[in-house]
Amino acid sequence: MSADTPHTKLNEEKAREQLIDLAAEFYDQFEHGDIPEMTLPTRTKSNIVFDEEAGVWVYGDRTSTRSANSVRGARKLLKAVYAVEFLAQQLDEDRSSTLRELYYLSESWDSEEAQFTSQDESNQLIEDLEIVSGVTREDFHMRPEESGAKVMGPLRLREQTRRGDRDIHCQEDVGQGGYQIPNNPDTIEFLDNDAEFVLCVETGGMRDRLVENGFDVDYDSIVVHLGGQPARATRRLTKRLHDELDLPVVVFCDGDPWSYRIYGSVAYGSIKSAHLSEYLATPEAEYVGIRPQDIVDYDLPTDPLADSDVNALESELEDPRFQTDFWEEQIELQLDIGKKAEQQALAAQGLDFVTDTYLPERLEEMGVL
């Protein structure tokens, strides 16, 4: 692996210490004749609460316990012990692995009971270890299969490579595809920027339209392609751009309930990773569109809401992350008109409409421009 920054090195040392402490805790429980157990927050929508100080949604007080007093619980803890041993060795050897590789690696472990039955099971265990250790999987040198998305804009940064540090300008030194976000964006150092704001875009087609039309140049914007539900690396970089460079963040998605959840994961954090909300979420991020009101105002081409869309919208009305006047008004409107629209439906007004009219007017209305 490439050389680490002092910050990432400290995180890795903390990760190693926490893994050792966790293993020692299991050992002490055995030694004292106690039934080994691991307590975790209950990861459900009903157990997330708003942290006023941090401005993000985090897990509440309800917990569940993984205990060895049942065969099922004992298996889970056994798998945790084997995973902890593997991760500690990985850190000692300064190597990394993917979540998928961990799943397959478990087949070589000497206890059949410790082997994972599915990748979902191994993924969840890594999330459990993040929660109880207080460090991220990136500090364990665990990588996802999906990569971070791409960035285009007036930003110069320094990244670590196998051959040493490399300085990159995210317009001048990249092709039309932009700069590929690494799995651990904390290894990036921001050097300079001329940006006015960050625009996170859901779809590749819309991202390409903005770049082809020169939106990043004309409006000094950093365009971040989310690629659907954004990877953790994408959310982390977005948060760093906001927090460290003091740049406003706006999110541009399709006009459907699933895309609202994409915005929610950027701004509020996801239920699945609420333990990392302070690390990943950007609560100041604002939603540009597509809004249900846009469907009406611009007479956009639409598709009818499917039953699953209606159920998702009704669920969002009960989701504490969407219980604001803005979201309640927009969701109620969408349920009333029974329609949804894609970002690229704006092309019905012409290929340049999104960059010449829609985004400039909306961003000016929001006070970003």
Instruction: Give Cα 16 distance to the centre of its chain.
Output: 24
For 111-153, write each residue's pLDDT tens digit: 777 788 888 888 888 888 888 777 788 788 887 766 668 899 9
Which domain covers residue 72, as residue numbers?
6-137
Query: Do 88 and 192 sit in the same domain of this protein?
Result: no
Distance CA 146, CA 128 (A): 20
Query: Do 129 and 185 sit in the same domain of this protein?
Result: no
pTM for this prediction = 0.79
Return the structure tokens found at 93: 């050897």
Please identify every residue annotated as catalytic: 104
For 294-306, write each residue's pLDDT tens digit: 999 999 999 999 9
Query: Do 194 and 127 sit in the same domain of this protein?
Result: no
CATH number at residue 53: 1.10.10.10
Q: Structural domain tally of the chain?
A: 2
Identify which of 204, 358, 228, 211 has the alpha carbon closest to the alpha carbon of residue 295: 358
1 inside domain: no
Query: Do 115 and 159 sit in the same domain of this protein?
Result: no
CATH number at residue 165: 3.40.1360.10
Query: Do 89 and 177 sit in the same domain of this protein?
Result: no
For 172-215, write each residue's pLDDT tens digit: 998 888 998 888 888 889 999 999 999 999 998 899 999 999 99
Q: Output the pLDDT for position 171.
A: 92
Of the ranges 85-99, 163-177, 351-365, the best mean pLDDT one:
351-365
Q: Output the pLDDT for position 285.
A: 94
Query: Do 198 and 331 sit in the same domain of this protein?
Result: yes
Query: Do 156 and 133 sit in the same domain of this protein?
Result: no
Query: Do 270 and 318 sit in the same domain of this protein?
Result: yes
Task: State the residue for tokens 């007004």.
Answer: 349
CB atoms within 10 A of CB 41: 17
- Is residue 31 very low, low, confident or very high in pLDDT (cuts 50, 70, 90)? low
Please give the full DSSP string across 58-72, using - where no structure is assigned. EE-S-EEEEETTSHH
- Is residue 2 very low, low, confident or very high in pLDDT (cuts 50, 70, 90)? very low
Q: Report which of residues 4 and 138 the model is more confident about.
A: 138
Q: In the beta sheet, which residues pair with residue 103?
A: none
The average confidence (pLDDT) of the chain is 84
Query: Do 85 and 194 sit in the same domain of this protein?
Result: no
